[in-house]
Chains A and B, each alone.
Chain A
């Protein structure tokens, strides 16, 4: 039976190196994809490596009571990616902080659901996803990637982004609307 992430962390802390190797193999592809989708297209592998090194250095601080290992890894991935882009001056503070509305998701989701099917059809037929995502603000990209690619819940995404649940839901909704606009304009 496949061991859980948390079992692997415990095994590594007890001295089993293979457990850490297994964790690295398990998360390399999704973290690499996340970094790429965060807008780092040239040094994706280096940033991915840095994320795992940071995780390894801080693995004793990992607290299962606070979050799952997956969420914890994505928190490190996000902060590392932001630091990298700030160093490269590809991201500004306002990119991260704007658009933080706390409007309830349930108030607005009804408006977007029918629109999305139309967007998906276009994205699929024109193979536009990566291009359209790159035109979205950073936080919107992150929400969509974590939710649809990594299948994380909005609560988990809230932990990664350090934002309240309603803000994440609101960003998700706005991201979909913006995505739709980009697809229509294209």
Chain B
């Protein structure tokens, strides 16, 4: 005991040195941040919905360990949570390349509000990789949203349909009953203004194919009026006399969209199956086989173009029915009017059947297409120019090498029909736009 007390004054400084060394060692270790600790902290912030805190932590993790998957997923989630979904894709890219389902799901989350067509492509890739029913549900929900986009105007060969305030109106020639009414049936008289088309159901969307007019009602059933010389209405016969009135040609409740040109009708169902009747002697709706799931189909006078869920674009000329040729892959959306075919790829290239008249100076151009200086969300074209929306919701008119931003319009959908570009606004206004002109003309 005495020995200890005697030696204690000597031991004390040694003890002190030891403590100093330990503290020094510990602080050095603590000073070196551990990726794991930051990940945990980031997750905690994420759970508390402190997205900025989470972002800072996950960024820290990535600078310490660029291979951390948790940090990438967490960071992407934090960006989406903090209202910056446009930041997520770049962060998730390495994981998406490695086909991580979690990364795909987050990517869809980040895309669906900004760019639904791209989200749908991603969702299809996800189901291709996982074949998981829950992922199919994600894909189907997106497909449903895309397929139920407004389509209140359609131009046929010599008739137009307009869905206004729940009523279907028609204008143009009624030679073969394409206006739906018996007014001036089988005469050369052209009805200049929109008049009620005599449809008594509740219409949801309208389409035209040649001289045949179609309505998809709110129950998803299909009605048609007008020409059926090729049996394109799918009723099993060809009509030889002009008839007025609307005939229900599908009561399956799953009709999403219709397109076609003279002699041919294409019907897209909500399950992604495409059906046709008409040229080639098919008097009843037949499945278009061997092209997989379809997400969009549109026609002009001479051609029909379809887009598959996998992003492949196919084209078929009206005089060579069912002869589909592949146009491009990796396509997220397209527009087809009498001005030609224009499509946008998933890597944001605008490609066109005909050369775009006047490329804006800020855009790049390579042999695969035009690369605008913003991300295209939707597109429609006529023979004069392009009308686009971008991911930040801007509406842009491209004409003669200039980009004009249009203010004060909230676009619900835009598409080409006949020779015009159609703009449907959230407030229900439907306008036709000759893109050489600064303003659209509202239809009344």
On whether the two chains bind one another, the answer is: no
Q: Name A's B-contacting residues (CB within 8 A).
A: none
Q: Name B's A-contacting residues (CB within 8 A).
A: none
